[in-house]
Amino acid sequence: MRSCFKIVIVLSLAFGLAGCNLPTPAPMVTPASMTGSPTATSPLYTPTTQQPTPTPTASVPANWQTYTDQKNGFTFRYPQQGQVANQENGSARINDLPFAPGTNLVEKYMEVNVAENVFPCSSPLAQGYPPGSFQSQQATINGLAWVIESGADAGAGQIHIWTAYSTVKGNACVSLSFVLHSTNPGVYSTPPPLFDVAAESDVFAAIVSTFVWLNP
């Protein structure tokens, strides 16, 4: 009986000592608390509303001269090199409009004409032409309605290509008529280069775009 008691004592001590040598359980790891507010993640693409780009308003050089007709109440601007001649009774001619040298173009000018009680309003350059022999169209330039006529004539080795802009206010018909005077290359033994009609005509629309009535 005493032997059995000893065995029980020995076994108890063995288990007790074994328990003392067991590794200490690792403390439970508690996730650290997040501090502050979460940072918002920016999207990879943010849609935007594309605004149309305004079309710049055409402007003319600051050194252009000003033509004014006080009687008929209008004004416009023209290139600095232009020379006004024969300005009287609502008509004038502006000579020496600049053009590229070295071609068959020899002269570039414009005529200003005012006629009263004319219907339809048309350039004097269009008079005498049979119907259908020249082009005519309507356009709005700088808020004003214009009739644009164009044609050409030739003779004695000379060629005249013209474009006319006409507008009406009250009973007054105002026409700004532009002429490109060139020579027929066939009359030369060594013909000069032909001038660029489109490039030389660009200034016409620019001049017309400056036209305003003094009392709208």
Report yes or no: 141 and 206 within 8 Å, Cβ to Cβ. Answer: no
- The pLDDT value given to residue 58: 56
Per-residue pLDDT band for 84 (boundaries 50, 70, 90) equals: very high
Third-level CATH fold of 65-213 = Protein Transport Mog1p; Chain A (3.40.1000)
For the segment 64-91, the average pLDDT, to the nearest whole number, is 94
Residue 3 has pLDDT above 70, yes or no: no
Structural domain boundaries in the chain: 65-213
pTM of the predicted model over 0.85: no
User: What is the residue-averaged pLDDT of the chain?
Assistant: 79
For the segment 192-209, the average pLDDT, to the nearest whole number, is 96
User: What are the backbone dihedrals phi and psi of residue 25, each rounded to the nearest 5 degrees, phi first?
Assistant: -60, 140
Report yes or no: 107 and 96 within 8 Å, Cβ to Cβ. Answer: no
Strand 172-183 to strand 158-169: parallel, antiparallel, or no bridges (unpaired)? antiparallel
Which of 81-115 are b and which e, b meaning 16 or more Cβ less than 10 Å from the residue's Cβ? ebeeeeeeeeebbbeebebeeebbbeebbbbbbbb
Strand partners, 111: 93, 177
